[in-house]
Structure 1
Amino acid sequence: MRIDLSGKRAVVTGSTVGIGLAIAKGLAECGASVVINGRTRAAVDKAIAAARADVPDGRFIGHAGDLGTTAGCAAIVAAHPDCDVLVNNLGIFGPRDFFETPDDEWSRYFEVNVMSGVRLSRAWLPGMATRDWGRVVFISSESALNIPEDMIHYGVSKTAMVSIARGLAKRMAGTGVTVNSVLPGPTLSEGFADMLSDEVKRSGRTVEEVGADFVMTHRSSSIIRRPASVEEVANMVVYACSPQASATTGAALRVDGGVLNTI
């Protein structure tokens, strides 16, 4: 299968590292012009340099701005009024007990994880419909269905993303625009590796080995018995953004390694 996104403009939010950067590189490899987004110019420039090193012929455009705010979303839409592929990857996470999570933290997670995708979809989908083609993907999580007891606020935000994607797919019925969510499981991103760094140093083992132990301790239902790579998650996203995925919409596509114990 050869995915051709030549002539398409893609925006990947929160894409300076990890899954987001892998998605940006994957889309560029298929010919799309990709907007890489991060909160600071330094982070964006570093990400573009890394992306160009891996995809020398890739077309990358940087946009620095905080898309967890109304103003930040308005600014990226003003700078890039046309978008054919939108990947709502921006997200924050972190453990915190339910009884110690105040209102402002719930609001912060909702603004960043949920409303960023809502605002950008509301801005760009009408243009996609006019052009009879578009792809939108919300990067959710297996935590959307397997709510973690130590991150209920995070899990709820990811459940909301799945709901929005499903409803928005129905709203765009017959337009040539597809909307899906992708649900990664534990993934060996920079943030995950940082979390394991102390154990890597203490044990002398590789981050992959420590990551596999972490998965089997905290997500023992995993079938692959290891974290996914960022590229493995990106592969699913790139497919969902492809012309070949024209009959896939309103779906919650799992890249969870089998963690979710359901058929």
Structure 2
Amino acid sequence: MDLELNGKRALVTGSSSGIGAATAKLLGAEGARVMVHGRGAERAKAVAQSIIDAGGQASYVLGDLSNEAVCTDVAKQVLEEFGGIDILVNNAGGSAAAHRPDTTAEVFNRAWLDTPWDDWRWTYEQNVGSSVRLIQAFAPGMIERGWGRIINMSSAAATQTEPDLADYQPAKAAITNMTSGLAKSLSGTGITVNSVTPGTIATEGVRAGFVEWAKQLGWTELDWPTIERRFTHEVIPQPTKHFGRPIDIARMVAFLASPQASYMTGANYRVDGGQCRSIN
């Protein structure tokens, strides 16, 4: 299927690795001009270069989007280079503890009552604050041109909560909620707004985390196929019996970003292998 993305301008936040990188590469392969975003120059540049090497068009921009001033500057740089964007993928996210270089397992799994408000604030700024600011920066141009796509990355944790993860789950719930409201606010403008909810996606970081978890469980076979099979059967049961890959999410994002998805807005799309127990 031709997604009709040739010439569209896209910003994918948090796209120097994982889901974001897969999304940026797929959009580039479909003909979009892609702005890769990350915190580190080496990885962001590498993703942009891979798009160029494959025959696409790409640039990259750097900045910590949890910081309001930096986020504003990132938006300014994108506008100066691209002159506006047609597709905004708000993929940057995560929790405060997970982004600390010195985080231990105990801190990462901190109990709800022990999670400091500073963590709540950082996680909300990273997930919701950055998305809101970028939407406000780029949506006016989309309105003026009469076409646009805004895709926000949510999480299964937004609707299927687990113990603790105190700061992360509410932030992702806010993403899902604001997507629906924004879609209604932009009614009749030619802009669609949707969220995507990934299940467990086997990125490099996730794989490393599951290997450590398997060690804690006392497992002795630590090759990835065995770990994936045991987790999806015994620990995190799901119908597909395997975890997702970044390209699984990228395909959904690319479709929602295309003119083919013009009748889809205000919705949350699960790509989770049936992990979530609710209907939606």
TM-score by length of 1: 0.93
Q: 1:223 aligns with which of 220, 236, 239?
A: 239
8 Å contact kept, 1:73–1:116: yes
Question: RMSD over aligned Cα, in angstroms?
Answer: 1.8
Match of 1:210 in 2: 227
Structure 1 contact 26–234 (Cα < 8 Å) conserved:
yes
Equivalent residues of 1:213, 1:226 under 8 A apart:
no
Instruction: Name the amino acid aligned to 1:62.
Output: Y
Q: In structure 2, how many angstroms separate the alpha carbons of the residues matched to 1:109 and 1:216?
A: 31
Alignment correspondent of 2:78: 80
1:205, CA displacement in angstroms? 4.6
| 1:49 positional shift | 3.6
Residue aligned with 2:178, SS: helix
CA drift at 1:95: 3.2
Secondary structure of 2:167 counterpart: helix
Q: Contact conserved, 1:7 with 1:31, CA < 8 A, in 2?
A: yes
Q: CA separation in 2, counterparts of 1:124 and 1:41?
A: 23
Alignment correspondent of 2:56: 58
Change (3 A) 1:195 1:74: same
Q: How does 1:93-242 map to 2 (within 5 A)?
A: 93=95, 94-198=108-212, 203-220=220-237, 222-242=238-258
Percent same amino acid at aligned positions?
A: 37
In 1: Cα distance, 2:12 partner to 2:277 partner = 30
Q: CA deviation at 1:52?
A: 4.4
Distance (Å, rounded) in 2 between the aligned partners of 1:258 and 1:173: 31
Q: Is the 8 A contact 1:106 1:153 kept in 2?
A: yes
* Counterpart contact for 1:137–1:182, Cα < 8 Å: yes
Q: Deviations over 1:8-43 (max 9, x none)?
A: 110000000000000001111110000111112122
The whole-number CA distance in structure 1 between the counterparts of 2:208 and 2:187 is: 42
Look up the match of 1:31: 31
Q: Matches of 1:42 and 1:98 in 2, distance apart?
A: 35
Alignment partners' CA distance in 2, 1:235 and 1:106: 31
Where does the alignment leave 5 or more consecutive residues of structure 1 unmatched?
none
Q: Distance in 1 between matches of 2:52 and 2:109?
A: 34
Greater shift, 44-53 or 181-190, is seen at: 44-53
Output the amino acid matched with 2:161. I
Does the CA contact (< 8 Å) of 2:151 and 2:253 recur in 1? Answer: yes
Q: Aligned pair in 2 of structure 1 residues 30, 122: CA closer, same or farther (>3 Å)? A: same
Take 2:89 and 2:243, find their aligned partners in 1: how far apart are those partners? 22
TM-score by length of 2: 0.88
Structure 2, unmatched stretches of 5+, are: 96-107
Residue 254 (structure 1) aligned with residue 252 (structure 2): no
Q: For 1:151, what is the secondary structure of its paired residue? A: coil
Q: How many residues align?
A: 260
Residue pair 1:199, 1:210 contacting (<8 A) in 2 also:
no
**Residues 1:199 and 1:104: Cα distance change in structure 2 (over 3 Å):** closer
Which sits farther off after the overlay, 17-26 or 33-42?
A: 33-42
Runs of 4+ in 1 over 3 A off after TM superposition: 49-53, 197-206, 215-218
Take 1:173 and 1:19, find their aligned partners in 2: how far apart are those partners? Answer: 29
